[in-house]
Amino acid sequence: MTTETITADAAGTWNLGDMTVNRLGFGAMRLTGSAAFHLGRPRDRETSIRVVRRAVELGVDHIDTAAFYFSALRSANELLNRALAPYPEDLVIATKVGPGRDPSGKWLPWATPGQLRGQVEENLRQLGRDHLDLVNLRVNGPDSIAEHLGVLAELREAGLIRHLGVSNVSVAQFDEARAVAPVVCVQNRYGLGARSPWSDALIRQCGELGVAFVPFYAIAGEGAEAGAAAAAPTAAEETVGDVARAHGATAAQVRLAWTLHQGPHVLAIPGTGDPGHLAENVAAAALRLTPEDLARLEEAHAPAA
């Protein structure tokens, strides 16, 4: 499919609280290097800056980032600041707190409630902003998240945060979060070959409540993490390829289109540091899968019970 004239608004819009965004957004993690948290050779700085600016030119108005997205010499937040400040008024930048890394890149213990303000302030400093549009609490394990979310709710009341979301949560944790403060989005792993019956149920619940569902790793292959080496194609992967060829599209575009077909409240935040891949990802906003396509993909990638 052609990519030259397609912009992110082709996917339609959804509201993150009082902020309206195009459903096709951008993930900043890969701006820093070829792998998620690689500390070897960094990606070319000017290319990354060019990709971010081009994303906004193509209608992307929702960018996902985090202070712990950095590699050797490169910080995703700093790249966004350099590329886009002063920020467009309609641009929504979402970030995450909970995980942390020291300057060498080593992962730190998950943040305690008392450490969350420091993480919020670090994102503010790196991005050069006086408030954060959206902060997702990234959850680690099945424990209660009420105390952590309560701290973020206080920062929201103080004006440092505009809206709150949760990430990597169970249905029970989502319900717990909503009892503490308004939640405008859920950010969980979800995609073809990376879903379960309970995650399907969580998507339905989000839709009923008007809460955005924002999957990550939506275009990774079965069993793959971002940056992992590609395995030999399975029968399910071959089905994706068949659908892609029928539309003159790429497998990644089919995966993104499938994601967007899961409901009007489902957003996509594919990430890349490559200008060509950026255009392809944005063009997926206009790819309309047929009922037959969706049935084939569902049959090949049905979640395990």
- Strands of the sheet containing 92-97, edge to edge, are 26-27, 62-64, 92-97, 132-138, 161-167, 185-187, 212-213
Question: In this structure, what are the phi and psi dihedrals at residue 240, rounded to the nearest 5 degrees?
Answer: -60, -45
Check: CB of residue 165 under 8 Å from CB of residue 66: no
CB atoms within 10 A of CB 209: 12
d(CA 165, CA 206): 12
Residues acting as catalytic residues: 69
CA distance 93 to 87: 10
d(CA 277, CA 273): 8
What is d(CA 11, CA 37) in angstroms, rounded to the nearest whole number?
A: 29
Spatial distance between the Cα atoms of 157 and 178, rounded to a whole number of angstroms: 16
Of 200, 303, 264, 259, nearest to 27 by C-alpha is 259
Cα(200)–Cα(152) distance, rounded to whole angstroms? Answer: 27
Q: SS3 of 134, please? A: strand
Rounded CA separation 277/256 (Å): 13
Q: Is 207 exposed, middle or buried (0-12, 13-18, 19+ CB in 10 A)?
A: middle
